[in-house]
Structure 1
């Protein structure tokens, strides 16, 4: 990871820590909003000077208005915490994959028996092996699902530069998109999420993330379009279903008031 990547990781870690402290009641809303606003300004300044490279599977989208007001910054982080908990619940009833990474048919590795530190060591020692991208993604998923976004992001970006099947690539794109949104970069978030949707139109997380993003951007029709299909999922956990239903109601009420 270069200097810019390290700086981006440190800023994301700061934002992540403020979000956790806010959720746990260690910071008041005003202090959290002030800190988040400062960190987001630093991140925007860094990314305007050194924009992250996009994969060939996404295209830039037209600019949309970023969330306004400091109060919304704290709200977004709390939404992020709720969604991550919900995603973990979703994966517990519907695994992403069989849990094995293989460099060949004769050498499967059960990642459930491998620690994060061991995976970090293997990845660092084998950066040029094509199959390492799947392990990078698996490690990034672990960090993402525990809310450690600053650790997850560089592994997702590295994995997306390598060889991944469409399902894994869609997951990586969607999650980088969500983290980009939480860090305040709406345009980049939309680019990644729309890339994920193009890669796998039925991927649940993309609908979930994009639906919440569009709702916060006051694109109520778009939010309803993304979120409504999730209610047809019979194994959708109750906490996700409740959040989705509430979001749809909010969007529909807003549409009604505009009529």
Structure 2
């Protein structure tokens, strides 16, 4: 989960264990910002329907091409797989969205927004209603300085799954830090606070952001 960006540029603690760095504000020059805007905001997002037949999981694809592994071999731990290996797997299995999204998240964690955007856009081309792709692409747009477009993508994700914790967290942060809407952020955060299915660490971060939203003028 992405950490909440703070006004002074420091990222908060990660909401989930999957990523400790995703969502931190990065300082980059004007040239990089312009390139990011062109690649992320101006690239077309296709709305074609997902091909029939479904997909296999990322680990199945990885196991099918990893050297020295047979059909009965245990799936590899993705933490031991390099970005280059994952790129090869994705190239050979272009419809395996789990692997593509895992790679996109890595690039987002590393601040390689252009590479992340490329994979999110391909995922959205293949599966326009994919909640994970929609919400994370929205978060990427937030970091590109486009909060209005960012919230649109996150809202699309929530239209598919109103209980998606990551999408709700993204929406709260976009409202608070991107749209200067602490009341809107607080509404979302209070929904998360009432959930009984989130981890204690996540709840602690939600409560911290609630305090920040109230300090910025939110109701409650």
Q: Bin the TM-score by the shorter chain.
A: 0.5 to 0.7
Q: Structure 2 CA distance, aligned partners of 1:236 and 1:202? A: 11
The yes-or-no answer on 1:174 pairing with 2:135 is: yes
Alignment correspondent of 1:255: 218
Q: Contact 2:33–2:144 (CA<8 Å) still a contact in 1? A: no
Relative to total residues, which structure has the larger helix share, 1 or 2? 1
String of CA shifts for 1:91-138, please: whole Å, max 9, x gaps.
Answer: xxxxxxx874469xxx798352672332211222344xx3x3332123
Residue 238 and residue 147 in structure 1: after superposition, are their counterparts in 2 closer, same or farther (change >3 A)? farther
CA distance in 2, matches of 1:163, 1:101: 19
Q: CA RMSD in A?
A: 3.7
TM-score by length of 1: 0.55
Match of 1:227 in 2: 189
Instruction: Name the CA distance, whole Å, in 2 between partners of 1:235 and 1:133.
Output: 26
TM norm structure 2? 0.63
Deviations 1:43-101 (A, max 9, x none): 476369x71223439xxxxxxxxxxxxxxxxxxxxxxxxxxxxxxxxxxxxxxxx8744
Aligned length: 176
User: Does the 8 Å CA contact 2:172/2:188 hold for their aligned counterparts?
Assistant: yes
Distance 1:221-1:171 versus aligned 2 partners, 3 A rule:
same
Deviation at 1:249, TM superposition (A): 2.4
Q: How does 1:24-39 map to 2 (within 5 A)?
A: 36=28, 38-39=30-31
**Residue 42 (1) aligns with residue 34 (2):** yes
Distance 2:111 2:37 in 1: 23
Q: Is the 8 A contact 1:40 1:183 kept in 2?
A: no
CA distance in 1, matches of 2:106, 2:37: 29
Map 1:48-127 → 2, pairs under 5 A: 51-56=42-47, 100-101=59-60, 110=75, 112=77, 115-116=81-82, 117-127=84-94
Q: CA deviation at 1:195?
A: 1.2
Q: Which consecutive unaligned segments of at least 5 residues does structure 1 have?
A: 1-21, 24-32, 58-97
Among candidates 168, 172, 190, match of residue 151 of structure 2: 190
Structure 2, unmatched stretches of 5+, are 1-8, 11-24, 49-56, 63-70
